[in-house]
A and B are shown apart, each in its own frame.
Chain A
Amino acid sequence: MRESTWRSLGLALAAAYAAFIVWLYVRQPQTVAEMTGAMTASIGAYQIDDAAFADGVRLFRRDQFDASRLAFERADSAHQDARTQFYIAYSYYRQGWGRVYNDDALFQRGLEAVDRAIVAAPHGRVAVDDPDLQMRSADELKAELQAGIRRDASDLNPLRIFRQRK
């Protein structure tokens, strides 16, 4: 093989490897599943496990949030599906919601999940058509989670106990 061919091959390989490294540092995948999932998602070939997702929704509607998240995690192990991440965030909201006070730790995890949903969605827009949910977009859910964590004077309002979980 000619020298120029070897050099071209080397340059192409180095450029591809460098691009892969930059991509890894930007995306920060946590597991091999996340890495492969993000790679397939970037070319539009990522698919979730539909059966596991259906299990997750069924458990979510029964208020079995821990179990539903296990199913959602199985459905979208790479955290690349906006709809699944939205349901995960919603499960943290419903589990963490309290009439007197909210569970900040669960709300925080909900925020992380809704952020993942926004990142995974095209143009950052997540809309879920589910009549069981009162909040059907990531924007509403994120605002509700942020409001739940925020500390302000309205926390002292005794009428808070009459509010409803969404």
Chain B
Amino acid sequence: MKREAFFLPLSFLTVTLLGGVRVADRIVLLPPPLVSLVLGVLLVGVLVRSGALAPERLMNGARTPLANVSGAVVLITTFLAAAQAFTVAIPEYGLPRLLFSVFLFVLLMNTSAAAPDRVRVLRSVLVIFGSAFILKFIVLAALSDPAGGWWKRTLLAMLEGLTLGTLSQDVYRPATGYIAFATLALFIGTLALLPSRQTTALARTS
């Protein structure tokens, strides 16, 4: 009960808060773009289909109205955190943003169609966000960093030419990457603690 009333909503709200933090010359808080909201809905849908999230355990007729409101808060904060987790994972603009958005959309649709179980879907979420984090905060950040030798600048100029100047992103301070890592880790860790359908079945068996 305490997990549902305290830990889950507060943890997801923390993800919502930290998901938009970008540290450059000044600190900017980015609200989720529309694409993140769409992907957030898809992710919550995948979690429900796989049984990683059982909404019927959070809201049902047998619970008190207060418990149902508490359950609704968990569902809403799950969606908000999912949207902000995608805001962390997707580049801010340009061709990479488009590619990431389409790639993640197709990946989530594919995961939903495959109807995996809870454990597999959590592993899949870990891989999705892990690879997106590496691509954005390590690969793209390295390509966008103006510092570097002549070979890097040549490579970057070639890539910029090929992508019509839409490849490079804003350069953030390293703190942004650390905050993003902690945010995604907290998000995935909290997803694993959501009341699942599997747990319901086990509880009924016992």
Contacts and interface: CB of A to CB of B under 8 A. Distances in A.
Interface of A: 3-4, 6-11, 13-14, 17-18, 21, 24-25, 28-31
Output the residue of A6, A14, A17, A24 with the most chain B CB within 10 A.
A14
B29 A8 contact: no
Interface residues of B, number: 23
B1 A6 contact: yes
B104 interface: no
Contacts of B31: 25
A7 B5 contact: yes
B contact face: mostly helix, strand, loop, or mixed: helix
A24 B31 CA distance: 11
Interface in B27-48: 27-29, 31
B29 A28 contact: yes
Contact of B67 (A7, A14, A17): A7
Given A4-B64, A17-B13, A18-B13, A10 B5 contact: yes
A contact face: mostly helix, strand, loop, or mixed: helix
B29 A24 contact: yes
**10 residue pairs, one from A and one from B, having the closest CB atoms:** A10-B5, A14-B9, A30-B26, A10-B6, A21-B17, A7-B70, A7-B5, A7-B66, A17-B13, A25-B29
Given A10-B73, A17-B9, A18-B77, 7 more contacts: A7-B69, A9-B6, A11-B73, A13-B6, A21-B13, A21-B17, A25-B29
Contacts of B4: 10
Nearest to B17: A21
Given A6-B2, A6-B5, A7-B66, A28 B28 contact: yes
Contacts of B17: 21, 24
B73 A14 contact: yes
A4 B63 CA distance: 11
Contact of A13 (B10, B26, B27): B10
Given A8-B66, A11-B5, A14-B9, A21 B16 contact: yes
Contact of A17 (B1, B10, B26, B69): B10
B46 to A, nearest CB: 24
Nearest to B71: A7
Output the residue of B4, B5, B16, B27 with the most chain A CB within 10 A.
B5
Interface in B115-148: none
B66 A14 contact: no
Nearest to A31: B27
A28 B30 CA distance: 9
Output the residue of B9, B28, B31, B64 with the most chain A CB within 10 A.
B9
Given A21-B16, A30-B27, A11 B10 contact: no
